[in-house]
Amino acid sequence: SGPKGSGRFTPVSWDEALDDIARRLRKIAARDPQAILPYSYAGTMGLVQGESMDRRFFHRLGASQLARTICATAGAEGLTYTLGGKVGMKTQFFAESKLILIWGGNSIASNLHFWRLAQQAKRAGARLVCIDPRRTETAEKCHEHLQLRPGTDAALASAIAHEWIANDQVDKGFLDEYCVGYDDATMPEELRGQGKSYVDYITGKGADKTAKTPEWASAITLVPAATIETLAREIAAAKPCAIYQGKGPQRRGNGEQTARAICMLAILTGNVGINGGNTGSDLDSYYMPADYGIPMPDNGVETSIGVFTWIDAVDRGTAMTATRDGVRGRDALAVPVKFIFNYGGNCLTNQHHDINRTHDILADESKCEFIVVWDTFLTDSAKYADILLPDLMAVEQPNIVQSEYAGNMAYTIAGTAITSPKFERRTLYSTLADIAERLGQRDEFTEGLDEMGWLERLYEQGREGDPDQPTFEAMLEQGIYRKQCPEGEHVAFKDFRDDPEANPLDTPSGKIEIYSQALEEKVADWELDDDQFISPLPVYCPESEGYADPLAEKYPLQLTGFHFKGRCHSSYGNIEVLKKANPGELWMNPLDAAERNLADGDTVQVFNDRGTVEIVVKVTPRIIPGTVAMGQGAWHDADMAGDKIDRGGCINTLTAYKPSPFAKANPSHTNLVEVVKA
């Protein structure tokens, strides 16, 4: 192949390719198998596609592993300390809600399951309020839309809390019985009387001596103080009230804190665990009782790192530590990554941050020695492959897929190939079996089964957990099997609300931890940058590269992203008809456009120290002044041997590789840029 990123390849036969892959695997495994990183992604799923079979193959080799998913890492990790690991483990019933806040989620474009529930509530009389820097498709359909400056949600939440505390509107009974750290009386004993409780923070008796008044928040969020006061009154009066938190607010440099701060509003009003209320976090779905688990050999690896930090494992390797980089299971990473197997993902470059930086790291072949990419399209990530393998499309191979994010209706889909394989493309499983053969492990990997054999075995095993499930043959015939959550919709945390002694949360105290001592202890010896911050309380902290960062003098516009209606990430981003219907655009407020002499439809350059994107500007009051926005997932299109200007409009040319403080998650929506006419 040509240089990394060039996209030039020389055709070889499957035998040559597989011989080469097997030889490299053998060589690297002999040195240390943990230098091998299987990095499969969200492109495809199921029992014989997706990451399951490749995990089985690589676990046997002793390859390394990544922890957690990329979608809501910061939020989920943060909330674990407040609400425990059960967060969002249930769906939620909104029909009784009087008021629903849709906070940083564009559910019409990206999460229809929630929108269905919100509409049911709306028809029954609920008021919908959307909180987003953009007037999204969802905001258009709500009764009210509050535009705030991105990354400042925790300040807004704190000011609402301030109003309730000042006007005696919190649910004190709930806070006393179910929570730790609201006021001195519910603080851990040794911490009382030190100004460390949540009330102390809000009322200005804490370390920063600042009352979190609506005026204070207004200067930060750009939401008028009177609007904050009205919203506070409205939430307090609406019983029950639900706060649905999308993934936008937590996909940021201060995401862990923000997710916790928004949940405080549900906690303070005692809306947790009741019909029509919720925890203030995201939703989850009902899953099939059947367990189709693929037998996974033990890879004997003790460490894992956050999925976003894979590039550090290439670049800095064993310099990655527990207290600086969040390495789990050991003080430091044992071995740097030397071999990447990227299947069904565009996360080497297009979907990962700071593409130009990643390009330089991957181009240095003394770091990562070998990359295999396996996709159905020539994506930007594919251009970094040493060997690029063509897959069959999902509909061209047999598979069984279990439900994802399907709300209260779980499903299983079974399918057989609709055509015979065309051209030289091959399936993952049969090819892994051929590589295993070259490593002398075919029988251990396949157990003598082909794809249909595995599907039947795993499906039948799952049937033991769900007697209603049709037989394998009937399933192949009918294609889809659905199962309604037996309780209709769950009420999340209801068991805890009904009997907190018998059903404690899995936080250290068993209660909701507004003040988290566990978090405080965990990070006591962590090394953070000066502009990063972790607090045991859900406080507002400015973001690194937020509006208040001194860098804003050079790059005065905040750039925030969103999941786009015209694509699923980068998937379908190359389909011309979809691009025509959903053009890639940079949203900019008329005030910011006037300052820069820009008109709607102009081609502009969006840039910062990391790179430059060329894109068409959409001048619209639907975005708050001072902030610009573009959908994530557009196909990166730059001459990487030349000017590196990305004419495809991919936001990850501009995003920072700066893992969030303690989840070490992707701060995708937190960036500073400037914009000029191209």
Q: How many residues belong to the site for ligand MGD (CB under 6 A)?
A: 60
Of 213 and 250, nearer to Mo ion (C-beta) is: 250
CA distances from 312 to 231, 318, 370, 469, 627 (A): 43, 9, 16, 44, 30
Residues 355/646, Cβ–Cβ less than 8 Å: yes
* Cis peptide bond prior to 536, omega within 30° of 0: no
Give the nearest distance from C-beta 158 to ligand MGD in angstroms.
Answer: 14
Give the nearest distance from C-beta 247 to Mo ion in angstroms.
Answer: 7
The window from 39-47, 488-496, 499-507, 605-613 that contacts ligand MGD (CB under 6 A) reads: 39-47
Residue 227 to residue 104: CA distance in whole angstroms: 18
What length does the chain have? 678
377 lies in the binding site for ligand MGD (CB under 6 A): yes
**Under 8 Å CB-to-CB from 7, ≥6 apart: which residues?**
378, 382, 383
- Comparing CA positions, the residue from 600, 487, 494, 106 lying closest to residue 272 is 494
Strand intervals (E) in 214-303: 241-245
45 lies in the binding site for ligand MGD (CB under 6 A): no
Kindly write out the interface string for residues 61-100 of this chain, putting x where it contacts Mo ion by CB under 5 A and - elsewhere.
----------x-----------------------------
- Comparing CA positions, the residue from 347, 327, 148 lying closest to residue 252 is 148
Kindly write out the interface string for residues 237-276 of this chain, putting x where it contacts ligand MGD by CB under 6 A and - elsewhere.
---------xxxx-xx------------------------
Residues 410-449 that bind Mo ion (CB under 5 A): none
Q: How many residues belong to the site for Mo ion (CB under 5 A)?
A: 1
The two tokens of residue 429 are 């499983």
Give the nearest distance from C-beta 285 to Mo ion in angstroms.
Answer: 14
- Comparing CA positions, the residue from 341, 138, 257, 288 lying closest to residue 514 is 257
46 lies in the binding site for ligand MGD (CB under 6 A): no
The two tokens of residue 288 are 């099939």
Give the nearest distance from C-beta 676 to Mo ion in angstroms.
Answer: 32
Hey, how many other C-beta atoms are within 10 angstroms of the C-beta on 540? 26
The window from 93-101, 228-236, 346-354, 501-509 that contacts ligand MGD (CB under 6 A) reads: 346-354
Q: Is 23 helix (H, G, I), strand (E, B) or coil?
A: helix
The window from 97-105, 118-126, 495-503, 577-585 that contacts ligand MGD (CB under 6 A) reads: 97-105
Give the nearest distance from C-beta 651 to ligand MGD in angstroms.
Answer: 5
Residue nearest to Mo ion as judged by C-beta position:
71
Give the nearest distance from C-beta 353 to ligand MGD in angstroms.
Answer: 7
Residue 472 to residue 474: CA distance in whole angstroms: 6
Of 97 and 342, nearer to ligand MGD (C-beta) is: 342
The two tokens of residue 350 are 């297009």
Residues 571-610 that bind ligand MGD (CB under 6 A): 571
Residue 631 to residue 349: CA distance in whole angstroms: 16
**3-state DSSP percent of the chain in helix, strand and coil, to 5:** 35, 15, 50
By CB under 6 A, name the one of 70, 83, 432, 628 that touches ligand MGD: 70
**Interface residues toward ligand MGD, by CB under 6 A:** 41-44, 49, 70-71, 103-106, 109-111, 131-134, 136, 150-151, 153, 246-249, 251-252, 343-347, 351, 374-377, 379, 391, 393-394, 560-565, 567-571, 632-633, 651-652, 655, 668-669
